[in-house]
Amino acid sequence: MNEPLSITGSNSMQCNECPAGVMHMRRVTYFTWLGEELVTVPNFPARVCDMCGKREYDQRAVSVLSMILNPEAGKPTRRIKRVPQPDSYPLNVPHPRSTNR
Map out the domains of the chain with their CATH numbers: 1-70 (3.10.20)
Kindly give, in sequence order, each residue whose CB lies less than 8 Å from that of residue 40, ignoring residues fewer than 6 positions away. 29, 30, 31
How far apart CA 101 and CA 94 sit, in angstroms, is 8
Note the pLDDT tens digit of each residue in 36-45. 989 999 999 9
Q: What is the pLDDT of residue 49?
A: 95
pTM (predicted TM-score): 0.57
pLDDT tens by residue, 43-98: 999 999 999 999 999 999 999 998 888 877 677 777 777 776 666 555 666 666 76
d(CA 33, CA 59): 17
